[in-house]
Structure 1
């Protein structure tokens, strides 16, 4: 049971968000955890690095699970996600921030693309109802 009002709000936001916005939220989480993992590596707090890079990997696994292979772009995204997973594992294993920084760049670029697509979808839905 969720007692904290902020947690209730967060859960409600996730449950009521349209699919495009959910993807953006996943990217936001992956970006946040990747940044925290990089901070852990740079500060030599390897427990923090490991914990956060694993969380980022878990979100990328969720992104993979959300792919709809009816669309050809899903195959391309799958390859990008697999590469990002590999880079995060490399970063975590060898405690090198460079690999995680590369992933961070890809995550931020993809997040912006999905955010634009979600805005277009919301605008089109608004035009149909207005």
Structure 2
């Protein structure tokens, strides 16, 4: 799956394929963190209902629950904002640059359905 990965070079260049699919080990390598740390963040993100993985490419069973083997860009972005590593910082800056450049060109339509998510405004 080499062509479906995100690459962060030592000089800070970020390369993202059109359709990202990475397993936990690849995500851990991407951010320079331990496998166990990446897995804990993924499980926490899934439990919070932020995003999930790709169940179409198989999965594994842990404690009576099936977890996907591969995760897409949404999960990797969520992990990037939880992890404190040099490569996570580079990736966060890349994400911010992409968002700012898009906002500068056109408006982004946001769908607000926070009421359905049981969120409250404090």
Same fold at TM > 0.5: no
Report which of the two has the higher share of strand.
2
TM-score with structure 2 setting the length: 0.28
Report which of the two has the higher share of helix.
1
Bigger relative contact order, structure 1 or 2 (CA pairs below 8 A, ≥6 apart): 1
Structure showing greater radius of gyration is: 1
